[in-house]
Chain A
Amino acid sequence: MSTPNIAVKRRHMRRGNMRVLVHIALFAVLGIALIVTGVIGNSKLAKATDSYSDTARLKVYKDKASGLEPRLSALFEEFEVSKNSIKNKVMNNKRKSVNEALDADIASGLPDEDALLKAIATYTDRAFDVISSDSDEATGTKLKQKVAGAQLQLIQELTAEARASAESITSKDVRGTMNARNTQHYVIIYYGTAILIIGIACLLLAGVLCALWFTKDSEGRARVGQAIEPFDYLLPFLVGVGVFTLYPMIRVLIMSFQENYKLTGNNLGTATGWGLGNYNFILNGMGKTQFMRALRNTALFVLFTVPITAAIAIVVAHLLNRKSKLNSLFQTAYFMPMVTTATAVGLVWRWMFNTQNGLINALINFFTQFFGAPNNINWLQSGAADHAISMAVLIIYGVWSSLPFTIILLLSGLQNIDDSLYTVAKVDGSKPARIFFRITVPLLSPTIGLVLIINSISAFKVYTDVFVLWNGSPQDYQMETVAWYIFNNIQTADGTHSLGIAAAAAMVLFVIIFVFTMLQKFLQRKWVYQ
């Protein structure tokens, strides 16, 4: 850039310097903040894991079948006088307070062995009292000696068991039981490590910028500032794209290979392994009938809607392509369906195709009444009985809603054709039909090709149409589509989110769209006029 003015050049340099400084400061602050947050998150996770581990160990100690109590009872057994006297007078008596003491001790950090010693002492003292009163003190002393001899081994066994049980709980498991609803600060705890890493990265960036600052002179610094400027502008955009477009692309691909990947109630993605299980499910296994039906419906929809729409749109665009005062009126009429909410309009069509009171049946009856008693056609409920009728409704609606967009594209394509060509043809005396087929259509063919591709891509993704026409349950009428299948698996009725299956279905859909588009592009090289 040419900046002849020295003052301007200096201003630019100052700006560049400022920029670097600001970035260093920002990254440093952000980095430190993120590191602190990450550390807090991880420490909270550690605390939670500790408390889980405490609970696990306590569970082992308090276990009525294999914990402290039964083992002590085994020791006390030989001193039993009357049946169950020790059980009743000692165990049942002291159990509550012993358990409470154990809870308090372990929570306060007392080593397990000491806490267990205390518990054993409580039980033993009570047993001593009971036996002394039942038999005599000598027996009681014998009991105490026996316990004293055996308690160390007892404690060792118990603590070993408890440790094993606690070790089986990893912080990953603990993290998995949390979800946004039951845990405060869920986000920092769950992503603690990730946040920490990002924080460190920010600090590193700040460090790099700092190094650059100190190793370069004023001009060099300005240049560094200039180099980092584009990324400031790009950052909001790239963050959005990264998180909500790029990451999902990769994640879904991976997810499709994770078998039984479900989003449980705790929002943990659990999977039982890697493999082609999901694909097998939808192509070969239990999901086969529904998925194949969805594929069939979607394919039929594309194969009928796209060509019909294109054909009608070409004619309409050609008719609209004239200078006429009524043009804006017609344009308003033809383009109206484009802006409207699909759900609202779908409901109108559902009403019009209503079997008992619908307009369509009324119109049909009007014409057929001359030839015989009228018969109401069951448009939307034919289901398996007469699939063609339901498909016809969907196709009519599909054509109606994709016509406006197609007409717009074709109209703008038509307007790009040079008028002089028409004039020349008319001067030569060609009939309108000939002009249309020999001049208009070939010159329009690139736009037609584009329209076919765009429309078929959208047609493959048809979802809202079937949802609204069949009141959310197209599967009851065998009218599900692939997109519907995907969505249905994301949010199944019973609350399990079979994301793995949805991912596999989505990958299949993507591949089909991709292959179909490539095929069209290849074929279009033959008939599209270049």
Chain B
Amino acid sequence: MRKPDMKTIIYLALLLAGLLIMIFAYPFSMPVGSYASTYQKIAKIHGEDLTLFEAMQALDSAEAKMTEWNVNSTSDEGAKLLGIAANASSADAGAYKTRLVVFCAGLVIFVAAVVLLKKTTYLLLTLGAIFMVFPFYWMISSSFKTAPEMNRFPPNMLPESWTNFSNYTEAWHTAPFGKYFFNSIFVCVCSVAVVMFTTVLAAFAFSRLRFPGRNLLFTLLLSMMMVPFELLVITNYQTITRLGMRDTLAALILPFTSSIFYTYILRNFFDSVPDSLYYSSQVDGAGNWQYLWKVMVPIASPSLVTIILLNAMASWNSFMWPQLVISRDEVRTLPWALVTFTTEVGIKYELIMAGATMVVMPMLLLFLFARKQIVRGVARGGIKG
């Protein structure tokens, strides 16, 4: 690494300085701040709209205000006001203000340093990344919080204990998540297997085999891709009901055995395999079937892996169709089960978050391991996962 020049050193120093100033001057954990905030809220109930600083100035008169507002000392409000009267002091307001100003100065220095170091991109990207990832953090951290923690306002960034698995055990006992997991996995595996089979065969037929009307048929199929599933679902619902397959796992697999989109992707890949391979295999006496499974499929394995991943994700995350055709608990899959679980437990969000984490975890882990493949597949296909 080449030795950084003077300017960079200065800017880095500024960066560090800004960061340190922010850390040491951090005013938001000062008790006077939270007392003032409480006072502010109580005052609002009684008709006084104060800014935070005005509330800080008024802290000394908290006890007097109790009588003015007719607050019972044994009530919730009264207890809070008494606490303020005993512990808070308006004198701290000055210290708070100073620290707040210093903190803001530190923030400005930090951002200026980032800009001067020409790392604005990284700053923006980091902010954006936080926006994207934060809900996941919130989901996981909330799943470790206890009910009182969840009811706190404003909520804590960190749960009190990162090993509090009680929400998970309670969620597991309230609803048969084990069964839901099994259903989801079963449907996923079967769906992927069947789709693989039909797609490989069809793509081979469209790519390598000749038959009259091949191109016309393919164009027709592509145009059928345009029709939204929301339209097809109406008749599929009727068909499944008439076949008596409501509330079965088969109903979740059957309508999706053929995917025009995956066939399109695979056919394009098959088209890129040189003809010479085919002809030489014919000379060797291999039939189409052997050629397909012994030559084409191994060559196309990256494409196949992509299709498998996309298909698995779509199957795991599917909600609309299971919601329509499944009403029995034994055959529910995870996304739908999560929603019914929510209705069951009502507003106990800590349990809901635990359930959501359990549902999301497998796909998240899959994504962490196979990110490149998934991203490549999505980019090539231009379709949502």
| Chain A interface (Cβ < 8 Å from any Cβ of B) | 1-5, 7-8, 11-12, 15, 179-181, 186-187, 190, 227, 229-231, 233-234, 236-241, 243-249, 251-252, 255, 263, 267, 269, 312, 315-316, 319-320, 322, 326, 328, 330-345, 347-349, 351-352, 354, 356-359, 361-362, 365-366, 369-374, 400, 403-405, 408-409, 411-412, 450, 454, 457-458, 460-461, 463-464, 467-468, 471-472, 483, 486-487, 490-491, 497, 499, 502-503, 506-507, 509-510, 513-514
Contact = CB atoms under 8 A, between A and B. Distances in A.
The interface centre, meaning the residue of A233, A322, A330, A503 with most chain B CB atoms within 10 A of its CB, is: A233
A288 to B, nearest CB: 20
B374 A339 contact: yes
Contacts of B6: none
B232 A252 contact: yes
Interface string B116-158: 0000011011001101110110110010000000111111000
Contacts of B342: 347, 471
Given A263-B238, A509-B230, A369 B356 contact: no
B257 A240 contact: yes
A373 B41 contact: yes
Nearest to B232: A248
Nearest to B379: A412
A248 B234 contact: yes
Contacts of A251: 235, 238
Given A5-B283, A339-B363, A454 B382 contact: yes
A437 B364 CA distance: 36
Contact of A335 (B131, B214, B242, B375): B375
A503 B285 contact: no
Contacts of B43: 373
Closest A-B pairs by Cβ, 9 of them: A180-B244, A240-B258, A248-B235, A362-B154, A237-B202, A333-B129, A373-B44, A344-B356, A233-B205
A236 B320 contact: no
A239 B198 CA distance: 10
The interface centre, meaning the residue of A237, A349, A486, A487 with most chain B CB atoms within 10 A of its CB, is: A237
Interface stretch (B85-93, B105-113, B160-168, B331-339): B331-339
Contacts of A366: 154
16 contacts: A5-B283, A180-B242, A230-B205, A231-B211, A233-B205, A234-B201, A234-B202, A237-B201, A243-B239, A244-B256, A320-B125, A336-B132, A341-B338, A359-B155, A412-B379, A510-B228
Contacts, number: 331
Interface string B359-385: 110011011100100110011101111
Nearest to B309: A339
Interface in B215-257: 221, 224, 226-239, 241-244, 246, 254-257
B46 to A, nearest CB: 11
A186 B244 contact: yes
Nearest to B370: A339
A467 B285 CA distance: 57
B363 A347 contact: no
A344 B230 contact: no
Contact-residue size bin, chain B (C-beta under 8 Å from the other chain):
35 or more
Given A244-B232, A490-B234, A344 B201 contact: no
A245 B258 contact: yes
A365 B154 contact: yes
Nearest to B142: A351
B311 interface: no
Contacts of B353: 347-348, 351
A11 B256 CA distance: 38
Given A234-B205, A237-B198, A320-B125, A344 B359 contact: yes
Nearest to B317: A341
Contacts of A369: 37, 40, 51-52
A189 to B, nearest CB: 11
